[in-house]
Homo-oligomer: A and B are copies of this chain.
């Protein structure tokens, strides 16, 4: 059974990194004093806290894809309110992703794995990570609009 792939590993990595670049721009678009304090709709979290969550889930997913171990992060460590630290960690993970994603065993995507939030295939885990990023970034776009700021173009990656 040799079907043409819906997406190649290179295409999947490009997809993921494109979203990471866009989320980085959204993070930068916030006024520094609003990133970790402002919410457009309580009890929703500030966008900076969501961005840390995205970072930690992405790191978990890359590690899981590489090692088969899905260790729930210590979410509290993600709550630094220093944007420079967030962006620096973000860029470090983007570099790791470029360097290490090509090492992922492709059999991993079809196999079922035990994540902190349940069993899913490697594909489901990887795409869920990106979906979660898109979901929260979309929320950040409303925050930006409510602050009178035009968000970065969604179609630019």
Q: Which chain B residues border A110 with CB–CB below 8 Å?
A: 4-5, 8
Q: How large is the interface on A (under 10, 10 to 19, 20 to 34, 35 or more residues)?
A: 35 or more
Q: Which chain B residues border A134 with CB–CB below 8 Å?
A: 131, 134-135, 138
Q: Which of A1-56 contact B (CB under 8 A)?
A: 2-9, 11-12, 15, 19, 40-44
- Copies of this chain per assembly: 2
CB-based contact A154/B139 at 8 Å: no
Best-surrounded residue of A3, A5, A11, A121 (most CB of chain B within 10 A): A5
CB-based contact A135/B154 at 8 Å: yes
The 5 closest A-B pairs by CB, nearest first: A138-B138, A41-B145, A41-B146, A135-B138, A142-B142
Q: Which residues of A contact B (CB under 8 A)?
A: 2-9, 11-12, 15, 19, 40-44, 106-107, 109-110, 117, 121, 123-124, 126-128, 131-132, 134-139, 141-143, 145-146, 154-155
